[in-house]
Amino acid sequence: MEFSDKIIDKKEELLDEFQNLTLDELAIKIKEISNRETDIIFQIACLAARVSVLNERIKAIMGENVLNDNLIENNRAKNTNIVEKILEPSPDPAKNPIEWVRVQIKETTEVNGVRFPSGIQIDVTDEDSKKMIDGGKAILLEDLETKESV
């Protein structure tokens, strides 16, 4: 789509008027002007100016990506594929075992953002169980690690 010379001239005037602003500031300023303008020709010129600013911002981003190509290549050498990264073996759980215990909730409480009603039995980490028991919110029922190994 081609604009008339009148619209192109107004767009260029607008961009020249605010040439001292950054692209981000310029985009905001042009949007503000466009929102309060009633002349349809000037509104179209504002939209054309916004498109120009967006194109410049995209070019700037693409330019940054070109500068970061070496960084991307280095990262690819380290992690060749996201699937391979996912399939890499996780750290050995035997080195840092999580101890689970079963508690019964004495009164409605919240654990890690989850609300539990009174009377329900839940499995929680040893650390969470201590907090709940010390706070009078739960009672210890059994140590799951000990029971499973028997």
39-90 pLDDT, tens digit per residue, is: 888 888 888 888 888 888 888 777 765 555 554 454 444 444 444 544 555 5
Provide the pLDDT confidence category of residue 94 given band limits of 50, 70 and 90: low
Indicate whether 116 pLDDT > 60: yes
pLDDT given at position 26 = 85
pTM of the model: 0.41
pLDDT given at position 82 = 45
Residue-range domains of the chain with CATH: 5-69 (no CATH), 100-149 (3.40.5)
Q: Are strands 109-111 and 138-143 parallel, antiparallel or unpaired?
A: unpaired
Indicate whether 31 pLDDT > 70: yes
